[in-house]
Structure 1
Amino acid sequence: MRRYIGFILILLSSWAHGQSNNSPTFALSGDVALLSHYVEHGLSQSDKSPALQGSFWFNFGPQFRLGLWGSNTNYENSDDHFNLRINGDIKVDFSAANYMVISYSQSQYYNGGDRNGNIVGLHLHFGEYRVTYDMMSNWEGTDQRSARLGFGKETKVFGDWLWDNEAGYNSPEISSISPYFDLRTSLGTQWGPIFVDGSVTGTTAASDLNGAGDVFFILSAKTELK
């Protein structure tokens, strides 16, 4: 609990500092995405079924925003079929291309609630490169914590195509599962108002995750709400 209180104080302090140097620019934003399969950090969240996802943000200026994100889910032997996340994050700019995002998500599942928990993140962006660190309080419904350190890079190829690669090191606090890597590569492009891409994901612990960390191919289409 002390860590969460401290995190909230950091958020408020950073936001207050940012607001003192920038005029408020209140704005709404959001997006809707359709995926052939919902996979997060290499682990299946929809049991190879399609997923419809949406997000909504209220921006309190250039640094601070609050919002909601939702997706249908499907897990073996679970009544959790929808995930709603209450999100908040603060962006701290170092330069035009380099910045940091501090984030917090309260993750709620319906109707079972077996996977309810929170996610605290620190994401650093340096041009095309990014370094992410996320802490999960209830990893995969086990009531155990897990941390993930990720490294990613976006590259423009073939003109307007975006090639995105990421590798993550996961360390769940579970004796039966050793730390493992998740890998993802995707290639996408903007097609009118829709961004379409294809991704391949996988983990180094597929045998320990009952098929949830196998190699998956995913197609997705996403559009911004304006």
Structure 2
Amino acid sequence: MRRYIAFIIIFMSAKVAFAAEGNTSPTFQLSGDVSLLSHYVENGLSQSDKSPALQGSFWFNFGPQFRLGVWGSNTNFENSDDHFNMRLNADVKVDFSPNAKLVIAYSQSQYYNGGDRNGNILNLHLHFWDYRILYDGFSNWEGTEQRSTRFAFGKVFNVFGSWKWDNELGYNTPDVSNINPYFDARTGLGTKWGVIFFEGALTGTSESSQFNGAGDYFFILSAKTEL
């Protein structure tokens, strides 16, 4: 039921967004990116067991507000056969002003070959200037078959000319009896060299002892280019 509610929200928001743009014609453009990471960490938790990860996303843009796409990454978890994560994505952007927008997104997340972590993700992300306020809801958090929500606040600073200093702090509330709510934090400094954006980032959680090493402090190097 939650899945259908999410699609209805996206569809209705798309109608509002297109109406705000008047008679703007769909662009039907393709876009995407490819990233290479020394370690894949999501919301403070390791997804590749400290191994490198190759990720890619591809989007079909129906216009300036609505798009559908697919994202994929290799993964590695202890005592799991899930070694690849593919997400089917849809998102709608609602512009309030040139410097403020709301992005409503839904992802159907599939893992191969085991599928123990399959689920869906609902995102409500508010961006204004270089700030962002995020809500993320997970139907099968870390393969526990329990729900979890995350609230986060982020800010990007322009430093040293062309460098970007990106910071984010999140608060997670898994509906799991043996896991306490916890904070996750990420800070990263990067710059674009040619067509590639290079970044070094540090991540960690406030309750690392309950994750058996998956929520420790990690330093990550990454390179990303748009297609």
TM-score, length-scaled by structure 1: 0.97
Instruction: Please state whether the residue corresponding to 1:152 is helix, strand or coil.
Output: strand
Letter of the structure 1 residue corresponding to residue 163 of structure 2: W
1:9 corresponds to: 8
2: CA distance, partners of 1:96 / 1:135: 27
Letter of the structure 1 residue corresponding to residue 92 of structure 2: I
Letter of the structure 1 residue corresponding to residue 113 of structure 2: N
1:79 to 74, 78, 81: 81
Pairwise CA distance, 1:19: 2.5
Instruction: Please state whether the residue corresponding to 2:97 is helix, strand or coil.
Output: coil
1:18 corresponds to: 17
The list of structure 1 runs, each at least 4 consecutive aligned residues, that deviate by more than 4 angstroms after superposition, is none
2:190 to 163, 188, 193: 188
2: CA distance, partners of 1:5 / 1:187: 38
2: CA distance, partners of 1:28 / 1:128: 26
Q: Using the aligned pairs only, state the percent identity.
A: 69
Please identify, of 13-22 and 202-211, the stretch whose mean Cα deviation from structure 2 is larger.
13-22
2:70 corresponds to: 68
2:172 corresponds to: 170
2: CA distance, partners of 1:8 / 1:16: 13
Runs of at least 5 residues in structure 2 that lack an aligned partner in the other structure? none
Deviation string, structure 1 residues 63-97 (Cα, Å, up to 9, x no partner):
10000000000000000000000000000000111
1: CA distance, partners of 2:48 / 2:133: 26
Coordinate RMSD, CA, aligned: 0.8
Q: Count matched residues.
A: 224
Deviation string, structure 1 residues 112-159 (Cα, Å, up to 9, x no partner):
000000000100001010000000000000001000001000010000
Instruction: Please state whether the residue corresponding to 1:94 is helix, strand or coil.
Output: strand
2: CA distance, partners of 1:104 / 1:130: 18
2: CA distance, partners of 1:9 / 1:221: 36
